[in-house]
Amino acid sequence: MAGAISKTIFKNGLTVLLKEIHTAPLISSWVWYRVGSKDEPTGLTGISHWVEHMQFKGTPTFPAAILDKSISREGGMWNAFTYLDWTTFLETMPADKIDLALSLEADRMVNSVYAPEEVASERTVIISEREGSENEPLFQLNEAIQAAAFSVHPYHHEVIGDMADLHSITRDDLYNHYRTYYKPNNAVLAMAGDFDSNSMVDRIRSLFENIPSGQLPIRLIRPEPSQRGEHQLCIMGPGETTYLQITYRFPSATDPDLFPFMVLDSLLSGPSNPSAFSGGGISNKTSRLYRALVEKDLAVGVFGSGQVTIDPFLYTTTITVHPDKKHKDSLAAFDTEIKRIQDEPIPEEEILRAIKQARAIFAYGTESITNQAAWLGFSEMFAEYQWFESYLDKLAQVTPDDIQRIAQTWLLPQKRLIGTYLPDGKVS
């Protein structure tokens, strides 16, 4: 049964996905909750990320002081992530120690203690994290572009939240958010590794199935209206480096245009990871924008980024402008390359190389047992595991005509935002 996938839905709504991989005596377990920064109303931005932090503060059975030591003592690792659409918690353990991880996750799905002193302490930590990010030019630029891109859809704010809300969110706000969304019928448990699926699902059932389901809030559907013209913004701050970001809409995970767009990304600036946890770096020196910008000394670096999300998000090209050049020259060179793709035939060998690189970076991000388990649950956030299994085949099916169509329909000037970060006092 190695490599087979089993899917079980318990009577309380918890979805359990299991994949046997017997290459090493390891098991990776991820619990995914369908809650992220898009579920946060004005006044509570950043609360999903903060709740993720609070989930490490312990329960009566697993006090905070022993949690990390318990995982480390058994030779395991654990972590958590919050994004736009989801929050996830993971443990990768020796196979014979996975029961600790399962018991912990079942317990903190229900019994986390939000002590006032821990809330106060974590407020300081998260505000410091936000302040540190604000010292980074690209964070400032990303935040400004994201806010400008979404005036209606709740993707409009950064995951860490707005500083005003980080100061005002209360302990009860945090606890209510936890009790609202951390329900088995709002969760997926995904596990990959060295186990027998029949016995494992029985063990998971014994720990999780008696946790009561809950009434989930109605999720508002607020599609972002089409943009009616190019938007430009400029941020000024300390430093010596000018950054340029050109941002377009990016297809949702289930949009067929996603796959040719990923190949277009590879062709333009080198392949980007489709998820936050994918690994593997591939040189982008064969990409068109590298040759047009870096090799011609208009920029010292260029990269693209588009990640898989439930609703359409953003595809951003970030250019680190050469210190002796103007950012307008970089933008002009960028526009020339976009126009070439839109108007000129793309050599087949270039398409094949771009597909190969896009496939390779995806494959690198699936090698470990930990990442196999991650993709198992991540896919379920917006589709099913078949989406993951068919990803490489769909990339391979992309044609030059598909690439040109994507460039001609998605990468239009009237559909983009241009953001510039200028060091204080530098003439644009």
CATH no. of 231-423? 3.30.830.10
At residue 278 the predicted structure's pLDDT band, cuts being 50, 70 and 90, is low
The pLDDT tens digits for 286-313 are 999 999 999 999 999 999 999 899 999 9
The mean per-residue pLDDT over the stretch 144-158 comes to 97
Rounded CA-CA distance 301/27 in Å is 38
In this prediction the pTM is: 0.95
- pLDDT band at 3; cut points 50, 70, 90: low
Instruction: For the chain, report the end-to-end CA distance as a whole number of angstroms.
Output: 61
pLDDT per position as a tens digit, 379-388? 999 999 999 9
Cα gap 345→268, rounded to integer Å: 15
Give tens-digit pLDDT for 224-258: 999 999 999 999 999 999 999 999 999 999 999 99
Rounded to an integer, what distance in angstroms lies between the CA atom of residue 379 and that of residue 196?
A: 22
pLDDT band at 96 (very low <50, low <70, confident <90, very high): very high
In 77-143, which ranges are E strands? 77-82, 87-94
3-state class of 426 per DSSP? coil
- For residue 423 the two structure tokens come to 């060091």
Residue 428 clears pLDDT 60, i.e. is over it: no
* Tokens, residue 358: 């896009």
The answer for residues whose C-beta is within 8 angstroms of residue 65's C-beta and 6 or more apart is 58
Cβ proximity of 356 and 282 under 8 Å: no
Residues of the chain with CATH 3.30.830.10: 5-208, 231-423
- 87: helix, strand or coil: strand
Domain 5-208 classification at class level: alpha beta
Cβ–Cβ < 8 Å for 52, 393: no
Q: Residue 244: which H helix or E strand, with range?
A: strand 243-250
